[in-house]
């Protein structure tokens, strides 16, 4: 399992396309940060963004589906990184 501290470093995320960053947490799931607004004269961590968890899932009836769930809407990149770390610790990190 990946180190939770790495999630807090935007440089460890992959910029898939302009303003869309992805951090893979498993073969079928990842976090995404979507930059909504960034004034280039300010640090990227202060940009307005939303955090999503994206993946292929299976429900209780064994149906497979794809979902992009918003975990944090229209906050700073810094807050999105912290929220990703919190979610990872609570839901993904092995004991």
Asked whether residue 50 carries a pLDDT value surpassing 90, the answer given is yes
Tokens 């790495």 found at: 6
Band (pLDDT 50/70/90 cuts) for residue 5 is: confident
Give the tens place of pLDDT for each residue, 66-76: 999 999 999 99
Which pLDDT score is estimated for 95?
44
Average pLDDT for the chain:
92
Give the span between the Cα atoms of 74 and 77, in whole angstroms.
Answer: 9
Determine if residue 74 is left, alpha or beta; phi over 0 gives left, psi from -120 to 50 gives alpha, anything else beta: left
Evaluate whether 14 touches 40 at the Cβ level (below 8 Å). no
Evaluate whether 23 touches 3 at the Cβ level (below 8 Å). no
């Amino acid at each position: 399992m990946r180190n939770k501290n790495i999630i807090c470093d935007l440089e460890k995320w992959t910029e898939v396309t302009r303003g869309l960053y992805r951090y893979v947490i498993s073969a079928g799931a990842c976090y995404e940060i979507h930059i909504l607004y960034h004034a280039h004269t300010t640090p990227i961590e202060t940009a307005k963004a939303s955090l999503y968890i994206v993946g292929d899932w299976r429900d209780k009836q064994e149906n497979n589906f794809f979902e992009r769930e918003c975990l944090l809407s229209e906050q700073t990149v810094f807050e999105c990184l912290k929220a990703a770390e919190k979610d990872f610790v609570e839901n993904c990190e092995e004991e």
